[in-house]
Structure formats: C-alpha cells, structure tokens
Structure 1
Amino acid sequence: MKIIGTGSSEKGPLLDRSHVPLLLFDYDEPDRSTYVKLLYSVPAGELQVRRFAELGEHFYWTTPQGWMLLVHPSTRDTFLWNPLTRARVALPPERDNLEELQPDARCVLSHAPAHPGCVVLIADLEETVLWHCHPGAGGRWLRHEYDDHAVSPDVSISYSMSMLTTVGGKFYSVDHLQKRFLVVALEFSPVDGAAPQFTAVATNDAEHTPAGHSTTVFRAVESDGELFLVAMYYVKPRDRVASKISVLKLDLLKRAKVEVMSTLGERSFFLAASSKFGASVRAKQVGLKENCIYYLKPDDKGLYVYDLGRGTTTMYNPGLDLEDDVTPELLVTPW
C-alpha cells in the first residue's frame, strides 16, 4: 500500500482542498487509541492515512454538501463537521435516538450552515420518519412520521427518499413510475412543529431503457441549481459495471420536463454507494476529466469512471492492499 502522508485531526487543516473529492475507507489499526481512516485522493491518485478523533467518538453521516453530521452516543451532542478544516457548527442536542439510524440514512442540507434559512434534514430509509432542525444549539430536533402515500395511493414516498436532494434551497425526491418520473417536493411550514407538506409533479416524457438492457439504476444530482438524474443501464441485473450511462435534466420550471443531456460540459458527477448521494464538480478545477460519471459500487473498493463522450468505463484501484469488498464513503468539498 502506497502511503503518501499521515496526519492528525488535532493540528492544522486536516485535508488539502486540492485532494478532494476523497474516498474514505476504514482502517484496522492494532493501536486503537486514535481513530484511523484511509483517504484516497481522486485527483492525486494517492492513498493517505489520517487520524480522526471526531469520527472515532461519534456516529456520523456524510452529505452531498460535503459537511458530515456527527452525533455523540453518550452526551447527545450533535454538530455539522467540516473534515477539511475541523470547523464545527452546533446543532440542537439529539433527543430522538438519531444514533439508531442506519448508516445509509439520507442526510441533506438546504443551504450552507451559515445561511439563516438552513435546514438539516434526515430521512430514515427504513421507516417513514423525518428529522429536521436549524443550525444552532438553542433549537430542537423535530421528528415527523409521514403518510407514505400522501401524494398518491400508488406512490411510496419512502421508496424515493434514497434520492432526496436539495435544489435552490428546497428538498426534492424522485420516483420512477411506468417509464416516467414523479418529482416530489418536500416543504416545511414556518410554524414550529408543523408536519412537512408533500407535493408531486409527474413528467410527461417517457424514459426509454436502451434495447438489450434489463435493469436501470437512477441517482439524483444537484448541479448549478438544477436537478439531474443519472441513469445507469445494465444488461444483466448482477452486472458490476453499467454498460451505458445517460444524464437526464428535470426542468422544475416546466413541470419537470425531461431533457437528455448530450454533454456535461466542464462538469463531472460523483455518485456515492453507501449513502447513494450525487455531487457535481468543475472537473478541471479539481484536476479531473470533464464530462464523466465517477461512481462507486456497494461492496466494491473500485472507482469507476464512465466517459459520457466516448461511452467507455475505466476502473481505478485505490489500493492493492485494501479488501476488494469494502465500500468507501465519498467526501466532497463542503459548501
């Protein structure tokens, strides 16, 4: 294993911005006095060791906005954490057993934490439960159980929560129904404690799976204030690599009109596996190739890169000594 550098979370900036996006791996260390992670820098193609006391002492979840949500199991202290700078943003103390959530619970922010309207939202993917709060230690977490069929008897809101994302400060999820999409908007009333409201808009455009493909996996990505879906097509359900990938834009101003993107231009998209979120980067600004989909697979250490222009896939091995069936977390630059 090629180790480029080591560092501690107790001195100086944790990470160099030029090394982000990063893949975060667990690391079994004989001396567990400090918590160790392996970080693979996608731009640099290098693996490094970092010691994170914060991650050893807290339950944590990653977000598409780069911040991590940390919950202390004993003190119930809860905060947003920037892994690049170690900056913390206090959240109300946890009172509803957030630490019992599964690691794949969906956590998103409506705005940057310093924004006065920022909402931190957590969706339990196993129960019809939402938690939300505003940054600051003086408020409180609000827990809501919602009607899974609030928008239609035929639509399961909880099923679409795995694609919960933020666009323009608002929350959206997307469901795939009979070759069309249903965009579900989630809004919170300014009245403290009021239940969230769901509204839905169905697209009129059909989504066509290419001939010869049996399975399609969708991931939602926010980019430049717009909502995109990455459609990953598989010839067989158990194939490890998508044979074709397309990017669809859902125009929220035109009743979620679907537009197939011919190119992402200067952008590339990243897709996480465990948390299933997507993120957009200005590729050249971070030293990566433009117009590509970088994606991770469950129980697979590899980083897959699909070139939208050429229609080809390249797989990168982040470390020969890493177990093949580990699933890394994805870290992107915080807002």
Structure 2
Amino acid sequence: MSCQQMATPGLDLPCIAFHNYDRSTVMFSLSEHKRIAAGDTTDKVLNNKVISPTAQGLLLVRDPDTMATFLYNPATSDKVRLPPLRGVDDDVLLHSHCLLSDKPSAPGCVVLLVEGGGDTAADLRVIDFSSSSHEPVITAITIDDTVTNDSSNGHDDDERPPCQTYLVESDGELYMVRLLVVLPFENGDEIDRVGVHRMDFSNRRWRNVSDLGGRAFLVSRFYFGASCSAGEHGLLPDRVYFVSARNNTLQVFDVRDGSYEVQKLDKAPEVHKAFWLLPTANPYKGGLRESVSPPSR
C-alpha cells in the first residue's frame, strides 16, 4: 500500500530485511548493499521472533514461546499489543505477508494474512483481533482470481512460462505485477521479463500499463508488494524492485522500456525469506500507541 515519507531514526528506509528459520533478522541497505544496524530497540524487539511484514511498513510479530503478538513500526519503535495469535503455525507466518484493513487503532481493523505456496495469492486468512473473547477470530477465504488480461505476453495459455504474481495498491489503484521466470524453470528466481497491469473494475479486466505514475513498486517472495514514492526515497521512478533471498539478488525492471538490471547482494546472509521495510505515515494517530524503550546498558 502507498507509503509516505516520515522521519526514520536509526534506519534508512526503504531497506531489505532478511529473516531466517532460526528467527534472526538482518537489515540490509538498499543504496549501499551492506548490512546496517537496526538499532538496539529493534534488535531487542525482533530477536527470536517470527515476523510477517505488512505493505504499510508495520511488522506483525509473534513470540513463538509465549504467543505474545504485536504490531511493530521499525521506523519509530512504536508497538501495538494484540491478543495472542494462536491457531497459525510459525511456518505459515514465515511464508506469508499481511495487509491491514485500516489503521491499527480503527474499530474493526482486521489483518489479512496472505499465505504462500502457489503462483497466485488465492489462500487468505482474515484475523480479527478486536473480538470480545480476547482471542483472535480467524476466517479462511479462497479467492477466485480468474480475471482476463489484456495480453498473454505472447504465449498461449498452455505455453506460458512460470510466473510470480503480486498485487500492489498505489494511489488508490490496484495493480498486478507478473514476473516471468527464465526457462528452463528449475525453481529459481531469475526473471526474464515483467508485466504490469492495472485493474479496470468497471469491465473486470486487467489493463496493460507502461508506467507506474513515477512511483516504484517493491516486491518480494510470498506475494509481498508495495508502492513507494521514488524521488523521496532514492528510488528510480517507474521501476519494479524484486529482491530474491534464493540467489541474493536485487532485480530492477524499467516498466517504460522493458530494460532491467541485476544487482548482486554479495554481503547478504543466506536465509529463507527477504522482504521490504518501508517508510510509513503514522498509523497510530488517534489511537493507542505504546513506545518501546531502548534496552538499558
């Protein structure tokens, strides 16, 4: 979802986070391609936790030992406690990302958990933390995503190469990013080309686009997709940035002319999941906010 500029003490956002099965998280600079310190507070909060990112810049965090669950803003160290999230395995959280239906303080705000496992994000869980029973109410949803595209990228239906699909909300519009994988497909993340479509809701059809309105789209595995102002955050306009933890690369695609470049992240750790940390507007305005104090020395 669209993000706006704000002060980011301790972290130069957007940046890349590498999260591993051992529950460790390493921050990586987008501009300098090197590890960066997240700060004492963030390191302490995220240590030995299971993390699922949101496209609004917040992180859904759970302690696997106590089930304590909260939303965390790494840019400000703000924290919103939630009822313990049970009934969702650690592996599901690790292989998912989240969307918030509103600001965390808004009545009825729910968390949409988008699960990994296929070429399209069709398996969703709606998690309502506002239940009077003090336990989150979890509802499963399966999406029928059969919507017509303007083109098939030059392939018949049974001949299309494998692709990874991401949905991105930007300036009130819904976009679909399709990353076509290099053949022969061997379960890798090397991308051949990118296609971007905007949803025409009146005709229920995806329309091809040749620019992103000067913004940048940031995507990563497990269907994470977000839109960010390019000029305000040192990004190139009308680009799709794809980070791959499988081969430690950052792949940048120019939607206007179809060109792309691959940047090797040589100093990145070998992990199972990479995602984006984004600048965000203050999502706590008008509601409860808990600031996390830095650890004592």
Is this contact kept in 1: 2:17–2:274, CA < 8 A?
yes
What are the superposed Cα offsets for residues 3-40 of structure 1, whole Å, 9 maximum, x if unpaired?
xxxxxxxxxx7633xx211111359xxxx9xx964322
Structure 1 counterpart of 2:13: 20
Structure 1 counterpart of 2:154: 210
Counterparts in 2 of 1:329 and 1:125: CA distance versus 1, 3 Å: closer
1:229-244 map, 5 Å: 229-236=176-183, 237-238=185-186, 240-244=189-193
Q: Following TM superposition, by how much is the alpha carbon of 1:105 offset from its aligned partner in structure 2, in angstroms?
A: 2.7
Structure 2 counterpart of 1:310: 257
Counterparts in 2 of 1:99 and 1:241: CA distance versus 1, 3 Å: closer
- SS, match of residue 94 in structure 2: coil
Alignment partners' CA distance in 1, 2:15 and 2:115:
25
Counterparts in 2 of 1:289 and 1:136: CA distance versus 1, 3 Å: farther
Alignment partners' CA distance in 1, 2:88 and 2:168:
29
Structure 2 counterpart of 1:262: 210
Structure 1 counterpart of 2:67: 76
Is this contact kept in 1: 2:58–2:71, CA < 8 A?
yes
Alignment partners' CA distance in 1, 2:129 and 2:200:
28
Greater RCO structure (CA 8 Å; 6+ sep): 2
Aligned pairs, how many?
Answer: 262
Alignment partners' CA distance in 2, 1:297 and 1:272:
7
Is this contact kept in 2: 1:293–1:306, CA < 8 A?
yes
What are the superposed Cα offsets for residues 125-176 of structure 1, whole Å, 9 maximum, x if unpaired?
5797734124699843012355xxxxxxxxxx3xxxxxxxxxxxxxxx673x
Letter matched to residue 105 of structure 2: A
Query: Which runs of structure 1 show a deviation greater than 6 angstroms over 4 or more consecutive aligned residues?
Result: 126-129
Q: Report which stretch shifted further, 41-50 or 105-114.
A: 41-50
Residue 98 of structure 2 is aligned with which of 104, 107, 119? 107
Structure 2 counterpart of 1:151: none
Matched, 1:297 2:244: yes
Alignment partners' CA distance in 1, 2:69 and 2:55:
18
- In our comparison, the structure showing a higher alpha carbon Rg is 1
Q: Following TM superposition, by how much is the alpha carbon of 1:302 offset from its aligned partner in structure 2, in angstroms?
A: 0.9
Residue 137 of structure 2 is aligned with which of 122, 142, 147? 142
Q: CA RMSD in A?
A: 3.3
Percent identity reads: 24
> Runs of 5+ in structure 1 lacking a partner?
1-12, 147-156, 158-172, 182-202
Alignment partners' CA distance in 2, 1:295 and 1:65:
17
- SS, match of residue 191 in structure 2: coil
1:167-246 map, 5 Å: 175=145, 177=146, 181=147, 203=148, 205-210=149-154, 214-236=161-183, 237-238=185-186, 240-246=189-195
Alignment partners' CA distance in 2, 1:304 and 1:282:
18
Counterparts in 2 of 1:77 and 1:264: CA distance versus 1, 3 Å: same
Letter matched to residue 83 of structure 2: P
What are the superposed Cα offsets for residues 97-141 of structure 1, whole Å, 9 maximum, x if unpaired?
554635113422112213334212325557977341246998430
Counterparts in 2 of 1:117 and 1:245: CA distance versus 1, 3 Å: same
TM-score of the two chains, using structure 1 as the length reference: 0.67
Counterparts in 2 of 1:261 and 1:123: CA distance versus 1, 3 Å: closer
Q: Following TM superposition, by how much is the alpha carbon of 1:280 offset from its aligned partner in structure 2, in angstroms?
A: 0.5
Counterparts in 2 of 1:333 and 1:97: CA distance versus 1, 3 Å: same
Counterparts in 2 of 1:136 and 1:56: CA distance versus 1, 3 Å: farther
Letter matched to residue 256 of structure 2: G
Is this contact kept in 2: 1:92–1:133, CA < 8 A?
no
TM-score of the two chains, using structure 2 as the length reference: 0.75
Counterparts in 2 of 1:75 and 1:325: CA distance versus 1, 3 Å: closer
Q: Following TM superposition, by how much is the alpha carbon of 1:256 offset from its aligned partner in structure 2, in angstroms?
A: 2.4
Structure 2 counterpart of 1:322: 268
Alignment partners' CA distance in 2, 1:145 and 1:262:
35
Is this contact kept in 1: 2:94–2:273, CA < 8 A?
no
What are the superposed Cα offsets for residues 61-84 of structure 1, whole Å, 9 maximum, x if unpaired?
111121111112333221111111
Alignment partners' CA distance in 2, 1:230 and 1:214:
15
Is this contact kept in 2: 1:228–1:247, CA < 8 A?
yes
Alignment partners' CA distance in 1, 2:174 and 2:191:
22
Residue 249 of structure 1 is aligned with which of 198, 215, 218? 198
What are the superposed Cα offsets for residues 193-252 of structure 1, whole Å, 9 maximum, x if unpaired?
xxxxxxxxxx4x553122596333321111112110012224513474322212100123
